[in-house]
Amino acid sequence: MHLFTSTVGRKVLMAVTGLLLVGFITVHLLGNLSVFAGSEAINIYAEKLHSLGPIVWIFRLVMLALFAIHITFGIKLTVENSAATPEQYAIQVSQKTTFAAKSMIYTGLIILVFLLYHLLHFTLHVVHTGAVATLEPLVNGRLNVFAMVGNSFTSAFVSIVYVIAMIAVAFHVTHGIQSFVQTLGWNNGTSQDKVTAVGKLAAVAYGVLYVAIPLAFLFHIVKV
């Protein structure tokens, strides 16, 4: 299929999967922010999600496909692009590009490693088993997700790992948002700087709100 070999086709694949992944982190963030709405809110949210049955698995497979496409082509494009630029200038001055744009592969790889760690932690319960054990059902029968999350984040190590990963997400999204608008052909010239500004604002919002969750537990602003 031309889409998978073309330079523009693969750019479109990166943009569409990236856009959907931004959609995912948005929904995920809204769900996670329920920790600020009392201990029961996130437990009810988790119970609702798990009661969806086969839809959960369909969702997981779609997410796997999105990540697989985004990561595979992200790495492939980076390798091709560095092959196209075998020699560097003695002096090189960037006039427009950003740190975020130049570090996409690095922030991307940080997010990939974090993603595996995150799944081992909260989904597969392989690491930090002490904190994870507090997931035990409450008297009302619901799993105590709030306790598992809270007890995990009271560890400075865990919190710092999550904070670093979320900063990487924020940088990745800064370039990503304006980039998919351009790639999908929605830039008319004058709109691009506005879209870039909105993208930066959104990235800061994702960063601050995501980071707030571990830090709130670490500094006992929200108590387990």
Contact footprint for other proteins (CB under 8 A): 2-3, 5-12, 77, 80-81, 83-97, 101-102, 104, 175, 178-179, 182-189, 192
**Contact status, residue 176 vs residue 26, Cβ threshold 8 Å:** no
The residues, ordered by sequence, that sit 6+ positions from 34 with a Cβ below 8 Å of its Cβ are 41, 42, 45
Residue number, 89 or 157, with CB nearest to other proteins: 89
Nearer to other proteins, 124 or 198 (CB): 198
| Least distance to other proteins, CB of residue 199, Å | 11
CB of 55 to other proteins, least distance (A): 30
Give me the least distance between CB of 139 and other proteins, in Å please: 53
Nearest to 170 by CA among 118, 111, 89, 116: 111
Nearer to other proteins, 10 or 128 (CB): 10
Q: Least CB distance from residue 182 to other proteins, whole Å?
A: 5
- Do residues 108 and 74 make contact, with C-beta atoms less than 8 angstroms apart? yes
Using alpha carbons only, give the angle 154, 63, 141 rounded to the nearest 5 degrees: 50
Judged by CB, which is closer to other proteins: 41, or 101? 101
Angstrom distance (rounded) from CA 67 to CA 101: 19
